[in-house]
Chains A and B, each alone.
Chain A
Amino acid sequence: MVKTVAMALQDLRVPALGQALRPNVWDIVALVLVIGALVLIVYGGEQTTLPLSALDVAPVSLDPANLPVYALRTTMRMLLAIVCSIIFTFSYAALAAKSRRAEIVLIPLLDILQSVPILGFLTFTVVFFLNLFPGQVMGAELACVFAIFTSQAWNMTFSMYQSIRNVPKDLEEASQSFHLSGWQRFWRLDVPFAMPGLIWNTMMSMSGGWFFVVASEAITVGNTTVTLPGIGSYVALAIEKQNLAAIGYAMLTMLLVIIAYDQLLFRPIVAWADKFRFEQTASSDAPTSWMLDLFRRTRALRALTYPFAGLNRAFSNLHIEWPQSLQFPARRGPPSRVIDTIWFLLIGVSTGYAGFRAYRYLSVHLAPADVYSVIGDGFITLARVIVLIALATLIWVPVGVWIGLRPKLAERVQPLAQFLAAFPANLAFPVFVVIIVRYGLSPNIWLSPLMILGTQWYILFNVIAGASAFPTDLREAASSFHLRGWRWWIKVVLPGIFPYYITGAITASGGSWNASIVAEVASWGDTHLSAEGLGAYIARATETGDFPRVVLGIAVMCILVTIFNRLLWRPLYAFGERRLRLG
């Protein structure tokens, strides 16, 4: 297991970190386009003045007997979202990888999209989807699914895009030489090659997804309150009713759901996908799954799949050629200057228009003072993220190294750490809030740890993976030269696990920004706690339906996250990959 994670981590390229460090003009274009699109969606939503109170939603009850049904609803939303994410990934990544002109726009766009706080998306999409299906649960369901989708799709797409771009040249030549059509090549070469990275990223996305499905089931935007039956809304009701036992039940249910999901769905997929790992030698410990073994041993069930296998074969063998512009780059002449110019003009005009609309919309409602105060809030949250990551590092790096250097222990702790990362921490928030309320602690300080409650585990399990992969000969060399104490940490083990730690810290930091929107405000019954910060700002603006301020808050968070990534994480990641990657 540990080995698998280590391998998978090597496959994992943190999105876009290979690119240039400085934000370039395309980032700005993408940022403006995203914000502009959000504004347009809200604008459209505001024009449609339908009585949102007409929403007919079955009331949620705290009876634990309902929990299985709620869990099922929540799980279904997750599944639907992951299907959407996969479809999106295939088309977006393929387009970006095959077309140079599309790539110029799509990749920076993706980069910005993944720094937009997911719960910020929710604010807009709830209104949009509710108006799409007025008076129906459908709209709210779709909004929720869309929120999960936005938490999953971007890193999956990045992983797939990078895989397609890095398909080995000899296989590419072989598939051309044997006359595979563009369509055949995509299903026979690009997709299988991208599979291991894609599956790993899908698993990570799933882990993150639980957090957002729970957060988006019960949400208030202005005078619209959406309560979809599910574990998230169950917890929301429990908070309102101050029922600590119900929160315990919900956490237990979630625990079982995640275990089932892992065992019944993901473990089999990972074991099955082992054959797509691109390596020339057979590895000794392939991942296993009892579920897959069970299925592979059945005869009747397998027979049922044959027609599907045939269909799949026929589907991937369809003779579809890509348009001329997407194939055979060697044969193509130099790209047409005229089309390039038109294309860039088009991008310029759309960016200008989106920027103009965004400015017009925001300038009507906001004064410069708003901007300054939001930036101030942003820095408070930034300080929180930095302090929390530092604290988590101080705690989990030594623990992770200690565990990782003991293979037997690591084998048992690693799945636990991964599980904790998947567990939606927001379900546990009320427990902390109760303590803060009871002892009258300062929310500004004591609400902060909630931001990292769920994401600190990424640091732990990556460090464990790094320490497990640390070469034995280097450890032996260190002990034979009597390296001990701080010298051992600084010269031997910390550089060895650095690339792994950075991967974990990047994930943890991104997750913390996202979590700030639900962590900086908390309530228990009638008691409402709120900390100073950008997350609380966005949460408050969402609750009052103040869209200009939501847009402003999201834009600032987006910019801060992007700058933080470019100035700190990417250089560190690049340094780790270049200098400290072992083997």
Chain B
Amino acid sequence: MLERTDQATLLDLRSVCRSFPKGSGEELSVLEKVDLTINSGEIVGLLGRSGSGKSTLLRIIAGLIAPSSGDARCRGEPIEGPPNGIAMVFQSFALFPWLTVLQNVELGLEALGIDSAERRKRALAAIDLIGLDGFESAFPKELSGGMRQRVGFARALVVHPDLLLMDEPFSALDVLTAETLRTDVIDLWIEGRLPIKSVLMVTHNIEEAVLMCDRILVFSSNPGRVAAEFKVDLPHPRNRLDPAFRQLVDNLYARMTQRPETKTPSLEGIQGTGVGMVLNHVSSNVLSGMIETLAAPPYNGHADLPVLAGNLQLEADEIFHLGESLQLLRFAQLSEGDLVLTESGKRFANLETDARKRLFADHLVNYVPVMGLIKRVLDERPSHTAPAARFRNELEDYMSEEGADETMKTIVSWGRYAELFAYDEQSETFSLENPH
């Protein structure tokens, strides 16, 4: 009995944590107490915003990075280095440009020391299965994106892994190509022709997760945790227009825009609020455009996120970034999968350029703590200048270096638009002086 359970459980993670050093040298927690079990015969989706740590989790499972603490086991064996029986499909394809399609597919078998006749047979079978016949001697750069990702699939399938890991495998492809490839993979899966037992897929595309997965785990950010689990019982092939499908998509949107429950404040300040908030860079043009779109019909200040994303051809992740920036600036409100314009948002939509800039500047100083800080420091200093490093160091107490980079970029771009301050890239200083 016990043995049967072990066989059925391919992957078992128990309170896995992972942290990375922050810019200030302290540890930044990316994953916190993640539990995850994957059984034979299911497709599991990890759905989350970019930066929610889901890719880190995937790399822990792939044995590419080690967890800081917790227990990660593949078929009962602790994961120390890439386990046998796990293969990965990469977002960027990760094909070796100097190897042909066939050589790329054979690579994994070669590393396993399989002899050349067997290698060739299995590689050709995988190429055949994934629909790459005729491309064996092509180099990756001669192929389209969709064909390249097929090579990525063939290369992973040829080692006959128990668990196939997919790291946003369709996100680098255009809409039509991605849809074809998804359908092909799902068809092969339900026909039982894939030499694998289970799939774990990381994605930030909500519809993709509902289309493909049997089980969806929603990841929350900062630090990454499994916030919710959704079961998808719809039979394959799934229809995007099916009301049950739409309902599930709406539920996931709502779950993902839910405000994170307030956490107890600690001494160093709360991660994600105050000065230590990571600002994702969204251009002021995009923000203005979004406000105008929301204010105009058919939305009239109120939009359903899945509908808005569909109409504007935006990824869920992009629309979340946009919505959150607007919410941060108090121009709109995110709730239950809807984006609602506030009063000042409506006012903004009707203003001229200069008045818009003044309103934007007001909101920046009042609602974005770090902007207020910079403005205060510049006002107080007799020289009215301050090195960027001064604020950067402060940011790095709360976030990773990449986070600080992104935030600085946003600060400079928003500050310039609002004409709050000038920034000199050469000397990396903020100042109140604008060229006249």
Please report A residues at the B interface, Cβ cutoff 8 Å.
168, 170-171, 173-174, 176-181, 184, 188-189, 192, 195, 275-282, 317, 319, 328, 330-331
User: How far apart are A182's CB and chain B's nearest CB, in angstroms?
Assistant: 11
Q: Known A174-B88, A178-B159; judge A192-B96 contact (CB<8 A).
A: yes
Which of B69-77, B107-115, B233-241, B254-262 sits within the interface? B107-115
A180 to B112, CA, bound (A): 8
Cβ contact within 8 Å between A177 and B62? yes
Chain A CB count within 10 A is highest, among B63, B81, B97, B142, for B97
0/1 string, B133-169, CB within 8 A of A gives 1? 0000001111000000000000100010000000000
Q: Which residues of A are found within 8 Å of B92, using beta-carbon distances?
A: 168, 170
Cβ contact within 8 Å between B96 and A189? yes
A280 to B87, CA, bound (A): 23
Q: Which residues of A are found within 8 Å of B110, using beta-carbon distances?
A: 184, 317
A sample of 22 cross-chain residue pairs with beta-carbon separation below 8 angstroms, ordered by A number, consists of A168-B94, A170-B91, A170-B93, A170-B94, A173-B62, A173-B90, A174-B96, A176-B64, A176-B81, A177-B62, A177-B64, A177-B82, A177-B86, A177-B87, A178-B82, A178-B155, A178-B159, A179-B82, A179-B111, A180-B107, A184-B110, A317-B113
User: How far apart are B228's CB and chain A's nearest CB, in angstroms?
Assistant: 29
A272 to B270, CA, bound (A): 57
Q: Which residues of B are found within 8 Å of A168, using beta-carbon distances?
A: 92, 94
Q: Which residues of B are found within 8 Å of A184, using beta-carbon distances?
A: 110-111
Cβ contact within 8 Å between B107 and A330? no
0/1 string, B99-127, CB within 8 A of A gives 1? 00000000110111100000000000000
A330 to B59, CA, bound (A): 11
The prevalent SS among residues of B at the interface is loop
User: How far apart are B75's CB and chain A's nearest CB, in angstroms?
Assistant: 16
Partner of A331, one of B81, B87, B98: B81
The 6 A-B residue pairs with the shortest CB-CB distance, nearest first, are A170-B94, A178-B108, A174-B94, A330-B65, A179-B111, A192-B98
Number of B interface residues in the complex (CB < 8 A): 33
A192 to B107, CA, bound (A): 14
A340 to B140, CA, bound (A): 43
Q: Which residues of B are found within 8 Å of A278, using beta-carbon distances?
A: 97
- Is B66 among interface residues, defined by CB-CB distance under 8 A? yes
Q: Which residues of A are found within 8 Å of B336, using beta-carbon distances?
A: none
In the complex, which residue of chain B has the Cβ closest to the Cβ of A575?
Answer: B426
Q: Which residues of A are found within 8 Å of B155, using beta-carbon distances?
A: 178
A581 to B388, CA, bound (A): 24
Cβ contact within 8 Å between A319 and B113? yes
In the complex, which residue of chain B has the Cβ closest to the Cβ of A274?
Answer: B98
- Is B419 among interface residues, defined by CB-CB distance under 8 A? no
Cβ contact within 8 Å between A176 and B66? no
Cβ contact within 8 Å between B96 and A331? no
Q: Which residues of B are found within 8 Å of A171, using beta-carbon distances?
A: 94, 96
Q: Which residues of A are found within 8 Å of B304, using beta-carbon distances?
A: none
Q: Which residues of A are found within 8 Å of B66, using beta-carbon distances?
A: 330-331
- Is B35 among interface residues, defined by CB-CB distance under 8 A? no
Partner of B97, one of A179, A188, A276, A317: A276
In the complex, which residue of chain B has the Cβ closest to the Cβ of A173?
Answer: B64
User: How far apart are A162's CB and chain B's nearest CB, in angstroms?
Assistant: 18
A319 to B92, CA, bound (A): 28
Q: Which residues of A are found within 8 Å of B141, using beta-carbon distances?
A: 279-282
Q: Which residues of B are found within 8 Å of A170, using beta-carbon distances?
A: 90-94
- Is B318 among interface residues, defined by CB-CB distance under 8 A? no
Q: Which residues of A are found within 8 Å of B90, using beta-carbon distances?
A: 170, 173-174
Q: Which residues of A are found within 8 Å of B405, using beta-carbon distances?
A: none
